[in-house]
Chain A
Amino acid sequence: MAMAEPLVKKDDDRDYEDYSPFLGVEKGAVLQEARVFNDPQLDGRRCLQVITKLLYLLNQGETFTKVEATEVFFAVTKLFQSKDTVLRRMVYLMIKELSPSSDEVIMVTSSLMKDMNSKNDMYRANAIRVLCRIIDDTLLAQMERYLTQAIVDKNPVVASAALVSGIHLLQTNPGIVKRWTKEVQEAVQSRAALVQFHALALNHQIQQNDRLAVNKLVTSLTKGSLRSPLAQCLLIRYTSQVIRESSMHMQTGERPFFDFLEACLRHKAEMVILEAARAIIELSGVTSRELTPAVTVLQLFLSSSKPVLRFAAVRTLNKVAMTHPLVVTNCNIDMESLISDQNRSIATLAITTLLKTGNESSVDRLMKQITNFMSDIADEFKIVVVEAIRSLCLKFPLKYRSLMNFLSNILREEGGFEYKKAIVDSIVILIRDIPEAKENGLFHLCEFIEDCEFTYLSTQILHFLGNEGPKTSDPSKYIRCIYNRLILENATVRASAVSTLAKFGAWIDSLKPRIFVLLRRCLYDSDDEVRDRATLYLNMLGGDALAGENDQDVREFLFGSLDVPLVNLETSLQNYEASEEPFDISTVPKEVKSQPHAEKKAPGKKPTGLGAPATSPTTAVDVYEKLLLSIPEFAGFGKLFKSSAPVELTESETEYAVNVVKHIYDGHVVFQYNCTNTIPEQLLESVTVFVDASEAEEFSEVASKPLRTLHYDSPGQSFVAFEKPEGVPAVGKFSNLLKFIVKEVDPATGEADEEGVEDEYQLEDLEVVAADYMLKVGVSNFKNAWDNMGVDRERVDEYGLGVRESLAEAVSAVINILGMQACEGTDVVPSNARSHTCLLSGVFIGDVKVLARISFGIDGPKQVAMKLAVRSEDQSISDTIHEIVANG
């Protein structure tokens, strides 16, 4: 047997680099070799080689068929005869890798149980880990006694093996593991560091729902000192949990355990210091004073020679900078030296932190440093930097020039779609928010589309240019760039460019003749859409001296937004059948329907820049409309204005589940009660809702449509209709009583008794509120819509909203009261904002468009005030909106 031969040979072996002892190892051959496991006289060394090869194959991703795995498993069990320790350990590994079936497990149980009682501690520890990985409940119960003994074994390796196995078993057999509490708690006091760590982890997982126990544990352990840094990290996590829960119950007073966390900042192990610093930073409502010691230790980490430490520190400080930028400014000098860090993740985090904490005077210097750095980081980091620069620019508007230059420079460089889109979005936002930046920004965008490979970005920029370009001091300079698109680009971009040209023509009379010339050339374009658009706009702008429509109409058409949701339009177009009658867009429902169960979509993402406000509603309104039209009593009410979302009138899990949908007509209101019978032994008949409208003076009941039968678990509807003054947003409160005849049902046959009993069931009250008369209808460009509405029908007033929980809560309350659609993502309030402007749009009953612009502000003691400006097509409606707010 040539021992160590390859090692001797290595100097003169030219192929050394490619050498592998597993070269050419192949499954079939190794499975053949595994027969040596069955030899009566085991060759330990040979067996070890074969078992290593088998594990090698599995580790490389090779799989065994069921038959092969069973064969290998049985062969491997023979190896328990060998006394070779390393071989035995490899057998353990192999059994774990093969994850045997329960009848196979029985084959090895006795061998493993024997090892568990061996004098060799390594056998004991590993046998425990293997057994716990493969056994079922009954076997576990049998060996429970051994495990609890092992937990308190004097050998730390054995104790840890049992504890860690307990942590895994807790997922599958919580009942059994929870009985080990006494032994586990004894192990927490162990002198062996890792045993303490494992015992603490298992103990906490056992009692995690027992708040008192956790509290007690934390109280006693924070007084002593744990040996293992890992255990100390766990204790810090449990302490934060206790702090979090106690702050929910106690509103005032000292923060408990803060001293402990602060003391951990002076621990000798860096992992504990970091853990404690993180814990302090994540305390809810943390103050600057509490943050300071944590930030100080992190600052020391920033200049460490270890990249991991620098990374951990800068990542944590970056989070602090989002909420408490001033606390982090002390670290700015250390942070700046990290911009040139070899590790690009560290550099990017440093830059974005600096951008959050930097002051106005440091902007120029920072921008210079970033410029050098941008070329060698990945796109995903670049996007992070671009977003940080965008918010910096909004913070220091005076610096727009250098920031805009930076953005335009990086826009010219290489980059993928997401990166370019982030830059373009940022420029667009700067143009919208900083008027001085407009001309400069538009110029950069024009330059970009001269050589832009992304159709989406080109069309979006052209659209934006059409809206903003005509209002600049020298609009004519953009015409060349737009016309170049008509010559050079694909059909989609050309069509976009035609629309943009038309907008310039509509807005600026002096440019009209030139625009006509350009548009006429497009009449010969190879693409249908481009020709159609050119023809349409030429006629509309009166290019052929057919000036019929007035300028206002033309502008409304070109600049106004489509006032129906695209999804509704799509549905209506699909339902439209070609006939003599042309498609009428005014028949398309305008209500933005939100999906009933998908309302809680992640609100974090703020739609910004060019992306149109994304609404993906389905139209329940069509279903309702059809349903109501089919009921003769309601057919004469006219066009359905709005249907509310269902309002629950019963608690969940009651005998009868009822919710109501409010259908609003011009002069009527129909309540649709959706009833579900949740008792299998009952059949309900003649189900009606008796409505008491004494607290709704302007309403009088005109019709009621009972539900004939209501079977178990198949919902049905009962209706009640009211008359109300035409066009008036009348409000009121209604109390509801469900009346019905109950019949017993034989569960076996499903047949109901002949005789029934009258019964009634009190439902919760229902209110008709002002928001019911408002349709959520968004506009795609609020600013244009607002400008077009004109200032003459505007009404402005200020309101104090008193003490509110947060600004975000106040904003959403006002939006709910008005029932309007928030535009441009302004319903999302940044977490630490002190003021916020919200843009709302809607259609009020009588088909009156309403826009509202609300500025909120919050002061120290959470007093919220707001300034509400309303513009609508009808002055009296503007007043009504103010009344709603004043009464709300």
Chain B
Amino acid sequence: MDTESCPSIKNILLLDSEGKRVAVKYYTDDWPTLAAKLAFEKSVFTKTLKTNARTEAEITLFDGNIVVYKFVQDLHIFVTAGDDENELIITTVLQGFFDAVGLLLRNEVDKRTALENLDLIFLCLDEIVDGGMVLETDASVIAGKVATRGLEGAGSLSEQTISQALATAREHLARSLLN
């Protein structure tokens, strides 16, 4: 199959400041076992730990892969693709995820809030890449898709404004898993 002519993402990782998983999604079999995945996460975390990826996304070559990453508070976000991929396409995916999470968490992006709203994070990962294929890169669209609320038939996304969508996201945010 001629898949190399189509941009493809290998994984998106959301790790905490110790390199532990908050949420991860792998789209290829490059790391077939849990051990291989954890080893990859550990080394990519260690390798990038000392860099300053807070204002701009950073990039590194790693084991034949390109990893683009960005840190915010105690969260480290990585997007991996093959080393012949267009770096700026990978960055667009990273930025889309980063901004969408920011919108959904009302800019209160840290590990604690992310875990409290883990359902939104999972949905966000699901809406940005499907099986390695880039599904959507516009953060407001991704956040809107994740945050649509309301009963069946109450109106589709196209009829809802983004601000409405975000208001429902806010309501969602207030819920806690501990109750």
Contact = CB atoms under 8 A, between A and B. Distances in A.
Interface of A: 1-7, 10, 16, 19-22, 45, 48-49, 51-53, 55-56, 59-61, 83, 85-86, 89-90, 92-93, 96, 118-123, 129, 133, 155, 157, 160-161, 164-165, 167-168, 170-171, 194, 197-198, 201, 204-205, 208, 230, 233-234, 237-238, 241, 270-271, 274-275, 278, 305-309, 311-312, 315, 342-343, 345
Interface string B26-69: 00000000100110000000000001100011111100000010
A120 B157 CA distance: 8
B163 interface: no
Given A157-B145, A342-B52, A309 B112 contact: no
Nearest to B87: A312
Nearest to B68: A308
Q: Helix, strand, loop or mixed for chain A's interface?
A: helix
Contacts of A21: 115-116, 118, 176-178
Contacts of B148: 85, 122
A83 B176 contact: no
Contacts, number: 189
Given A3-B179, A121-B157, A205-B1, 17 more contacts: A6-B116, A7-B176, A22-B177, A53-B177, A56-B118, A59-B23, A89-B126, A90-B122, A119-B152, A122-B145, A168-B133, A237-B5, A307-B56, A308-B56, A308-B58, A308-B88, A312-B88
A233 B89 contact: yes
B43 to A, nearest CB: 12
22 contacts: A1-B179, A4-B176, A5-B178, A6-B112, A6-B116, A19-B112, A20-B111, A20-B112, A21-B177, A22-B177, A89-B126, A93-B123, A119-B152, A120-B154, A122-B156, A155-B158, A205-B6, A230-B92, A230-B137, A237-B5, A271-B86, A278-B86
Interface of B: 1-3, 5-7, 21, 23-24, 34, 37-38, 51-52, 56-61, 68, 86-89, 91-92, 111-112, 115-116, 118-119, 122-123, 126, 130-131, 133-137, 145-146, 148-154, 156-158, 172, 174-179
Given A21-B177, A233-B89, A308-B68, A343 B58 contact: yes
A56 B57 CA distance: 27
Contacts of B177: 21-22, 49, 52-53
Contacts of A230: 7, 89, 92, 134, 137
A121 to B, nearest CB: 4
B87 A311 contact: yes
A323 B52 CA distance: 34
B58 A123 contact: no
Given A205-B2, A233-B7, A122 B157 contact: yes
Contacts of A204: 2, 5-6
Contact of B1 (A1, A61, A171): A171
A22 B175 contact: no
Contacts of B134: 197, 230
Nearest to B66: A311
Contacts of A61: 21, 34, 37-38
Contact of A85 (B5, B89, B150, B175): B150
A541 B172 CA distance: 91
Nearest to B53: A307
B123 A90 contact: yes
B63 to A, nearest CB: 10
Contacts of A123: 152
Contacts of A308: 56-59, 68, 87-88, 91
Contacts of B158: 121, 155
A120 B156 contact: yes
Nearest to A311: B59
B159 to A, nearest CB: 9
- Complex A-B, nearest 4 residue pairs according to Cβ-Cβ distance, in ascending order: A271-B88, A121-B156, A21-B177, A312-B87
B59 A59 contact: no
Contact of A345 (B37, B61, B151): B61
A45 B175 contact: yes
B21 A270 contact: no
B5 A238 contact: yes
A190 B123 CA distance: 26
A57 B175 CA distance: 20
A204 B21 CA distance: 37
A52 B118 contact: yes
A2 B177 CA distance: 10
B152 A59 contact: no
B86 A119 contact: no
Contacts of B145: 122, 157
